[in-house]
Amino acid sequence: MKVLAEDVVERARGGDEAAFRAIVETYSRDVFRLAFRITGNEEDAEDAVQETFLRAYQKLKGFESRSSLGTWLYRVTANSAIDVVRRNKRHENRRAPLEEDPPSQAAQEGAVFGSQLRDLLDSSLSGLSELERSAFALRHFQECTLAEVSEALGITVSAAKQALFRAVRKIRKTLAPLSRSTP
Amino acid sequence: MKHPPEEDLILYYYGELVDESELGTHVAGCSACREELLSLEGLLKRVGAQPVPERGPDYGREVWSRLEAHLPRPRRQASTAWWLVAAALLLAATFLAGRLSTRWNDASPMPGASLRERILLVALGDHLERSERLLLELANGGSAGAGNERAMATDLVRTTRLYRQTARQLGDGGAANTLEELERVLLDASHEPETEEGRLSLKERIEELDVLFKLRVLQTNVHHREVQLAARRF
């Protein structure tokens, strides 16, 4: 994640709208990436981006640790994305719970080099709980350390580890046939 | 060493295992664990390879433009003078937004309105001229102190925003777009770091948006309107 000059963050905390704009323009793409990984679709991710910065604007005065603005924003993003997912029923409709509706063996085998592969991978992620998905997205896609994941999600490092373990296990379970059918 | 649990393999993959050497040694000598680790790596790499829809370099600005109108702004405790100035500017913009487009209306307004409009046109013309001077200075890497330029840019941003918002509300898209680009560049100028690299970056943006040219077109429209009103007096 990019780093802004300290004085910009300070001015934004003091209510300087132009400085807050600099924060928005600097972090929008990172926020979108994380939001997309958590929500799983562009429309929800865009909603989450909007909500993230609205919340950040309201709460920035309470932000004290300048050095971890990025991590703080990740936390706001994860919460916003989770809320958007909860609110939007369209997301629920796309969900295919792992235990109840696993992809067929034939679909898995046929998906190896096709567009279905992406669907299968998406499906494996949508089978995760919100916490698992957020922890996995932060650790796997955003390459945060587990300490940063715990800080961003407001949980202990141990809880972050457990969420990551559960996420990986579920993903492995869904995608295991792929590893047997491909090199 | 016993076969490591799956949790350790996951931590190893992410480089989060406290003692990696022990597990590494075990995996090197244990084909079952090596296969298990390779399987885990293969799957996680597949997941990681899934692309995120790309967002362009202007995405941050797009987000801001969507966000700006929704920000809950605290009540200002500005002086009465500020509101008087703002009111005057809004009045000016109200007059101008409908008149800066190509559809010039020659119908005479009520008595006294022409004089008032002329005064307001002069105010807008002065604002555009000040903005142009600052942008020229920035584009040419002028010698004025960076602090002065920033202060001037910050000052001009507020006024530009008022004109821009009013022009947009009144449907003069051309004037509003030019004022929006001017506002963006001025905002950039008010935040640009005091480095050579920052100055070059700002200069590039001014040239890229062609904002000086657009500003001059707007100034010309304002000037023509001033001339029209002056001619009516005779």
Q: What is the pLDDT of residues B17-29, one digit of tens each?
A: 888 888 888 888 8
Residues of B in contact with A29 (CB under 8 A): 55, 59-60
Average pLDDT rounded to a whole number, residues B80-106: 52
**A5 touches B: beta carbon within 8 Å:** yes
Residues of A in contact with B50 (CB under 8 A): 118, 121-122
Average pLDDT rounded to a whole number, residues B186-201: 76
Residue B84 is which amino acid? Answer: L
Per-residue pLDDT tens digits for A49-104: 999 999 999 888 877 764 578 888 988 999 899 888 877 754 454 444 434 344 45
3-class secondary structure, B228: helix
- The interface pTM score, or ipTM, of the predicted complex is 0.76
Q: CB–CB of B44 and A118 under 8 A?
A: no
Q: CB–CB of B50 and A122 under 8 A?
A: yes
A114 contacts: CB under 8 Å, gap ≥ 6: none
B28 close to B34: Cβ distance less than 8 angstroms: yes
pTM for the predicted model, two decimal places? 0.54
Rg (CA), chain B: 29
Provide the pLDDT confidence category of residue B97 given band limits of 50, 70 and 90: low
**A124 touches B: beta carbon within 8 Å:** yes
Find, among B88, B63, B162, the residue nearest to A21 by Cα: B63
Tokens of B219: 């100034």
Task: Please determine, for residue A5, whether its predicted confidence score (pLDDT) is greater than 80.
Answer: no
Find, among A114, A147, A151, A152, the residue nearest to A37 by Cα: A152
Chain A, chain B: beta-carbon pairs less than 8 Å apart: 99
Whose structure tokens read 């996995």?
A136
Comparing CB atoms, the residue among B14, B43, B157 nearest residue A172 is: B43
What does the pLDDT read at residue B76?
Answer: 45
Distance from CA of A3 to the nearest CA of B (A): 13
Comparing CB atoms, the residue among B53, B70, B157 nearest residue A36 is: B53
Angle at A78 between CA A55 and CA B41, to 5 degrees: 160
Q: CB–CB of A165 and B47 under 8 A?
A: no
Is residue A26 within a helix (H) or strand (E), and if so which, with residue range? helix A17-39
B150 contacts: CB under 8 Å, gap ≥ 6: B189, B190, B191, B192
**B7 touches A: beta carbon within 8 Å:** yes
**A146 touches B: beta carbon within 8 Å:** yes
Render A87-126 in DSSP notation, one character per residue. H-HHHHHH---TTTSPPPHHHHHHTTTSHHHHHHHHHHHH
B162 close to B88: Cβ distance less than 8 angstroms: no
**B39 touches A: beta carbon within 8 Å:** yes
3-class secondary structure, B219: helix
Task: Please determine, for residue A35, whether its predicted confidence score (pLDDT) is greater than 50.
Answer: yes
Tokens of A10: 């300070």
Residues of A in contact with B70 (CB under 8 A): 50, 54
Identify how many contiguous H helices and E strands chain A contains and give both numbers.
10, 0
Provide the pLDDT confidence category of residue B132 given band limits of 50, 70 and 90: confident
Distance from CA of B59 to the nearest CA of A (A): 7
Identify the closest residue of chain B to A33 by CA–CA distance: B52
Is residue A183 within a helix (H) or strand (E), and if so which, with residue range? none
Tokens of A171: 């993903």
B219 close to B132: Cβ distance less than 8 angstroms: yes
Q: CB–CB of B48 and A140 under 8 A?
A: yes
What does the pLDDT read at residue A97?
Answer: 42
Whose structure tokens read 């940063």?
A148
What does the pLDDT read at residue A145?
Answer: 92
